[in-house]
Structure 1
Amino acid sequence: MGSIRFENAGKIYGSGPGAFQALQNVTLDVREKEFVAIVGPSGCGKTTCLRMVAGFEPVTSGRVMVNGQDVTAPGPDRAVVFQQFALFPWKTVAENIEFGLRNKGLPKGERQSLVEGALQLMGLESHASAYPHQLSGGMQQRVAIARAYVLDPAVLLMDEPFGALDAQTRVVMQEELVRLARVQPRTVLFITHGVEEAVYLADRVAIMTKRPGRIKEVVDVRAIREAEKWDSLERIEDVMDTESFIHLRTHIWKSLREEKGASK
């Protein structure tokens, strides 16, 4: 099970005259094995939403729940992939992937089997003995994703995971994430500044208002993807050339532009 629910969730930082409200009355449901991307103006609280689900930030008001239980701390049912790869430089690829399994106390044989599966899933078999500094940015992010997937979390939280990559590598990783979503679907909450990235990857796109952030609109992408048979197209650029993709992208951009204008 891997559902997420924001129920009138709010977040205030600080106290007294210096306090500011980052989020206000955020309400959003992410269903089991659904991929939801959140987009919004800079500073609207996208990452704060993810951090509250992860258990890194407490809510000030309302509730944030995973599988119907209030989130009060980090837990093994949730894994986070950050923009910065956060790999241990002194550990090999295989050792980085194994790290969380060691913390769970799994026996050596089981850890090795799971790591081998994760290496194969991400196409990292030939790099198992390499160290992070020997890998490209895209390969390092593959390791970070493998480290999250190997824990078999119910919920995968991704905070602009491809933001530090060059444009070409980012496209490759987007296509890879789509493949993973088909092979091993997870409940995913994905934070991004990229409208095209959100439309290409997500089942639904949640648009946030300017600060204090609220959910302005949720756009259903999956229904259009299935109706237009995007999955039959081989390359990301083929999907982005379809009229339906262009329409969704334009709609979301207009909604975000309204928020930018409202903040002046």
Structure 2
Amino acid sequence: MIQEKIIQETTPVSKTDTAVIEIKELYKSFGKNEVLKGVNLTVKKGENLVILGKSGSGKSITIKCIVGLLAIDKGEINVFGTDITKLDNAGLNEIRVRIGFLFQNAALYDSMSVRDNLGFTLKRHAKDLSSEEVENQIKEILESVGLSEAIDKMPSELSGGMRKRIGLARTLILKPEIILYDEPTTGLDTITSREISELVLEIQKKYKTSSIIITHDMACAKHTSDRLMILKDGIIHAEGTYEELEKSDDEWVRSFFI
């Protein structure tokens, strides 16, 4: 296994050595199909970690395990210092509120306007807010993603890039400390993909988030990552900065950067 040396980040975002996510020897199978075979990874506070890997390598499975959407077979998943695999539903929900998850398709409610999509999420978790407070928070978060004018639109009226932004707004409205991005630029044109990547960095800086970003988009990986990991055969095969892995002695690792 290759273990690339990590160089000091130059991103002007405050980072610490405190781990907000720490996975130890994570195993996950589906029947006889062993997907994860001892994954170990750490995400530090304020860091953007990008995970690369071929299709079916277990990237999305890993982040679904982090929020308890999938039960693991073996291992530890420590989030904010707590092993979530030992929590009951109530304890797991307390952790989930602090984690935002941006799905590939943005997962908006098609029958609700943008305002109602955001308001539904906010009121579900902050029942003591007044209608005025809810409205103000909706407008603030839409401004953060550059879509204030879309507040009364329906999801069917939005472009793919706008849907991603609204999905991100719905994630941000609960002020998560961790954001898990599952293919944030999939299906988008080059310019829109760049805009979403820029937005990921803006969110990291403004909200001081820690993130895992699953992507096949190497431009997104280069632009957003403080550090990268590459999954192969169910384990972390290589890690380092974009520049380090691009120059790796391992031909398979370099193949991602061609």
Class of the TM-score when normalised by the shorter of the 2 chains: 0.7 to 0.9
SS of the residue aligned with 1:30?
Answer: strand
Gaps of 5+ in 1: 222-244, 260-264
**Which residue, out of 158, 171, 178, partners 1:155?**
178
What is the CA–CA distance in structure 2 between the aligned matches of 1:120 and 1:79, rounded to whole Å? 18
Distance 1:25 1:77, change over 3 A: same
State the shift of 1:113 in Å. 2.2
Amino acid at match of 1:71: I
- Find out whether 1:44 has 2:57 as its counterpart: yes
Between stretches 68-77 and 127-136, larger displacement belongs to 68-77
What is the CA–CA distance in structure 1 between the aligned matches of 2:145 and 2:77, rounded to whole Å? 31
SS of the residue aligned with 2:63?
Answer: helix
Name the residue aligned to 2:221. Answer: 198
What is the CA–CA distance in structure 1 between the aligned matches of 2:137 and 2:246, rounded to whole Å? 38
State the shift of 1:252 in Å. 9.6
Superposed, which structure 2 residues align to 1:226-245 within 5 Å?
Answer: none
Divergent runs of 4+, >6 A: none
SS of the residue aligned with 2:163?
Answer: helix
- Find out whether 1:29 has 2:42 as its counterpart: yes
- Find out whether 1:6 has 2:23 as its counterpart: yes
Superposed, which structure 2 residues align to 1:210-225 within 5 Å?
Answer: 211=233, 213-220=234-241
TM-score, length of structure 1 as denominator length: 0.80
Name the residue aligned to 1:87. Answer: 108
**Which residue, out of 140, 150, 156, partners 1:117?**
140
Name the residue aligned to 1:225. Answer: none
What is the CA–CA distance in structure 2 between the aligned matches of 1:250 and 1:99, rounded to whole Å? 47
SS of the residue aligned with 1:3?
Answer: strand
Superposed, which structure 2 residues align to 1:47-196 within 5 Å?
Answer: 47-72=60-85, 73=92, 75-104=96-125, 105-107=127-129, 108-196=131-219
**Contact 2:248 2:254 (C-alpha < 8 Å) held by counterparts:** no
State the shift of 1:257 in Å. 5.8
**Contact 1:119 1:128 (C-alpha < 8 Å) held by counterparts:** yes
Q: Which has the higher helix share?
A: 1
What is the CA–CA distance in structure 2 between the aligned matches of 1:79 and 1:183, rounded to whole Å? 15
Amino acid at match of 1:28: L
**Contact 2:185 2:220 (C-alpha < 8 Å) held by counterparts:** no
**Contact 1:2 1:187 (C-alpha < 8 Å) held by counterparts:** no
State the shift of 1:204 in Å. 0.5
State the shift of 1:173 in Å. 1.4
Amino acid at match of 1:13: F
**Contact 1:2 1:155 (C-alpha < 8 Å) held by counterparts:** no
Distance 1:249 1:93, change over 3 A: farther
Gaps of 5+ in 2: 1-17, 86-91
TM-score, length of structure 2 as denominator length: 0.82
CA deviations over 1:212-241 (Å, ceiling 9, x no partner) = x101121135xxxxxxxxxxxxxxxxxxxx
What is the CA–CA distance in structure 2 between the aligned matches of 1:66 and 1:180, rounded to whole Å? 20
**Contact 2:238 2:253 (C-alpha < 8 Å) held by counterparts:** no
Aligned residue pairs, count: 229
Distance 1:134 1:152, change over 3 A: same
